[in-house]
Structure 1
Amino acid sequence: MSQFEPKYRPNGKTSLGTGSFGTVNLVQNIKSKQLYAIKSIQQCNIQTPYEQEGVEREIKVHLKCRHPNIVNLYDSFIEQGNVYMVLEYAENGNLYNYVQRRKRLEEKEACKYFIQTCKALQYLHEMNVFHRDIKPENLLLDNNNDLKLCDFGWCAENIHLKRKTFCGTYEYMAPEIVSDLPYDYKIDIWSVGVLLYELLHGYAPFKGKEYKEIAQNIKNGLIRYSSTISQDAQELIKNILQKDPQSRLSFKDIYQSAFVQRCFPQQQGCKINQIISQN
């Protein structure tokens, strides 16, 4: 850590938040003055071989990722038994806080972040990895307000291998997880449906005072939409949030949906049809 020094934010703190197993702080490289986010995992938080394996997998997978909508992991090292990850700094914070400040997003802006999340996840799935913890807090915004997926602490390799590890964030869990059934990468697809709903409403579709109530609402699958939400947005969310994983839309289907075709912002001369043709 000798090459870095703490960088204090306007609130007088260096903390950027917490991730799975660790904390994230803003630092500056002493020589280059470049800002980075450093995720630190204390040795005391790695208690079991399973947790050690998880940290090693997080680093291995993240180091291989090079995608415009995924936060870069530049380096990792161990110092005094603690694990440190040197990450790209996304200066505009996370998507959760961004949405909360605005109450909800207009459909075109929501679609932009929804598609950028889909593109990041599609890239991971093509690498035979799924994330398992999609939520607005794990979606960061850079200085151009473009989205960057972060926190690979719950990622898993081999997307078609069924598993039963209970993980993720309650409101974003797929029915198969809360029903204690084997699941695969299609839980990520479910999560982007929940994400789109939350971006448009300002809150997740399945709420509750405690986990049991949230889980029951997810199993019931009853979704109520605001009258301000367009029919094509409702249709897309409904077709993603299918209880049967095999019935959920693919990314190609999502890109070709009426909502995305209507709302996707024409950024940098890139049209949605170009994205479809690339995948």
Structure 2
Amino acid sequence: MFHFSTNMQNKENYEPRGFQRPFATSSSVVAGPQRVPVKSRTETDKTAVTGPGREGIGSSSSLASKKITIDDFDIGRPLGKGKFGNVYLARVKKLQAIVALKVLFKSQMEKENVEHQLRREIEIQAHLKHPNILRFYNYFHDRKRVFLVLEYAPRGEMYKELQRCGRFDDQRTATYMEEISDALMYCHEKKVIHRDIKPENLLLGYRGELKIADFGWSVHAPSLRRHTLCGTLDYLPPEMIEGKSHNEKVDLWCIGVLCFECLAGRPPFETESHSETYKKITKVDLKFPRIISDGAQDLISKLLRYNPSDRLSLQSVIDHPWVRANSHRLLPPTYPSKKS
């Protein structure tokens, strides 16, 4: 039933069908009125591998030379719970490295017919290595469970932090915008479209840096054009709502919504009904609260464009005057600037 491959092959044929999404590596959150999926889906440690210079648990590690089992790990406290299992803080015994161990029950995934979705998520994330993308180190399975060995993000989920703070200031939001734009440039270069950028799918690392953590709706599309309706209502771009084909520019729309939500504490098109939210999105009915600065409004309005080709490029987001004036990114980008 569970045959995994790490080859990036033929992702075009794996479409989500009634997928109940596995949880992120943090506790479940209570969503706002429109924080609903379109389809049915449901302490900082010195040795944390998210810190600079820590040894990773990659294919070149000593664990790769033998079959990995649960006995290779010391299991710590739970980090989150979901429909298919739990996420735990864990230590790799041999390396003394801290990781997040996601434990998924095969019987529950088979019942929901989502094995292909898990395979796709593994195949995509295993090939992505970027400081602002949560690392996927390895996986193994036994008769009843599948175990995913993931990077541990000590500062948890962005959505919880946003709920705690109410909103973020310009400096923090601009830093996140630079980080996520750099990470998505890397993804798009590899022909990977994320399609579900939102605070619930973003974790915060050792230095508070953003980590894209959930690739459950991502797709490897060599043509960079898709037709599937997926993602979360508040973040859906007009082309998806209207059933048109879409490409990597859906991610540009999503980071525009993300920027607005970080600064305002709510998504820009949120209403009390699905139909009204749909209408606001397709009309790009965008109204800024006074709390959002002119520079941020300029950036957001250039990303939230009805026509995908009119949306600001990711490099232009990084180069935007508001981002440049406010971003305090600590880690250097790994994706080379076009200017260089």
> Per the shorter chain, which TM-score range?
0.7 to 0.9
Matched with 1:11 is none
Deviation digits for residues 68-89 of structure 1 (CA, Å, limit 9, x no counterpart): 1111111011221432210010
How far has the Cα of 1:232 moved from its partner? 1.6
Q: Does the CA-based 8 Å contact 2:181-2:315 persist in structure 1?
A: no
Matched with 1:101 is 164
> Of residues 294, 314, 321 in structure 2, which corresponds to 1:258?
321
Distance 1:210 1:47 in 2: 33
> Of residues 202, 208, 212 in structure 2, which corresponds to 1:139?
202
**Residue 236 to residue 89, structure 1, CA distance change in 2 (3 Å):** same
How far has the Cα of 1:33 moved from its partner? 4.0
Matched with 1:125 is 188
**Residue 169 to residue 103, structure 1, CA distance change in 2 (3 Å):** same
Distance 2:258 2:172 in 1: 13
Structure 2 residue matching 1:28: 3-state secondary structure = strand
Deviation digits for residues 107-149 of structure 1 (CA, Å, limit 9, x no counterpart): 0111001111111111111111111111111111112111111
Supply the AA of the counterpart residue of 1:236.
Answer: L
Distance 1:246 1:174 in 2: 13
Deviation digits for residues 145-186 of structure 1 (CA, Å, limit 9, x no counterpart): 111111111110125343222211111111111222211111
Supply the AA of the counterpart residue of 1:261.
Answer: R
Structure 2 residue matching 1:64: 3-state secondary structure = coil
Please list every run of 5 or more consecutive structure 2 residues that lacks an aligned counterpart in the other structure. Answer: 1-69
Q: Does the CA-based 8 Å contact 1:139-1:148 persist in structure 2?
A: yes
Supply the AA of the counterpart residue of 1:229.
Answer: I
**Residue 246 to residue 105, structure 1, CA distance change in 2 (3 Å):** same
Distance 2:213 2:200 in 1: 9
Structure 2 residue matching 1:108: 3-state secondary structure = helix
Q: Does the CA-based 8 Å contact 1:22-1:40 persist in structure 2?
A: yes
How far has the Cα of 1:66 moved from its partner? 1.0
Supply the AA of the counterpart residue of 1:4.
Answer: F
Please list every run of 5 or more consecutive structure 1 residues that lacks an aligned counterpart in the other structure. Answer: 9-13
Q: Does the CA-based 8 Å contact 1:125-1:159 persist in structure 2?
A: no
How far has the Cα of 1:237 moved from its partner? 0.3
Question: Which range is displaced more, 163-172 or 259-268?
Answer: 259-268
Matched with 1:4 is 73
Distance 2:222 2:256 in 1: 19
**Residue 267 to residue 32, structure 1, CA distance change in 2 (3 Å):** closer
> Of residues 124, 131, 144 in structure 2, which corresponds to 1:68?
131
Relative CO higher for 1 or 2, CA cutoff 8 Å, sep ≥ 6? 2
Q: How many residues align?
A: 269
How far has the Cα of 1:18 moved from its partner? 4.2
Supply the AA of the counterpart residue of 1:59.
Answer: I
Matched with 1:16 is 80
Matched with 1:277 is 339
Flag the structure with higher helix content.
1
Distance 1:264 1:61 in 2: 29
Matched with 2:291 is 228
> Of residues 52, 66, 77 in structure 1, which corresponds to 2:115?
52
How far has the Cα of 1:32 moved from its partner? 4.2
**Residue 102 to residue 49, structure 1, CA distance change in 2 (3 Å):** closer
Q: Does the CA-based 8 Å contact 2:132-2:210 persist in structure 1?
A: yes
Q: Does the CA-based 8 Å contact 2:177-2:318 persist in structure 1?
A: no
**Residue 169 to residue 160, structure 1, CA distance change in 2 (3 Å):** same
How far has the Cα of 1:34 moved from its partner? 2.8
How far has the Cα of 1:245 moved from its partner? 0.7
Supply the AA of the counterpart residue of 1:101.
Answer: R
Residues 113-262 of structure 1 aligned to structure 2 (within 5 Å): 113-158=176-221, 160-262=223-325
How far has the Cα of 1:31 moved from its partner? 4.5
**Residue 214 to residue 82, structure 1, CA distance change in 2 (3 Å):** farther
Q: Does the CA-based 8 Å contact 2:193-2:224 persist in structure 1?
A: no
Q: Does the CA-based 8 Å contact 1:73-1:88 persist in structure 2?
A: yes
Deviation digits for residues 165-209 of structure 1 (CA, Å, limit 9, x no counterpart): 221111111111122221111111110000100111111111123
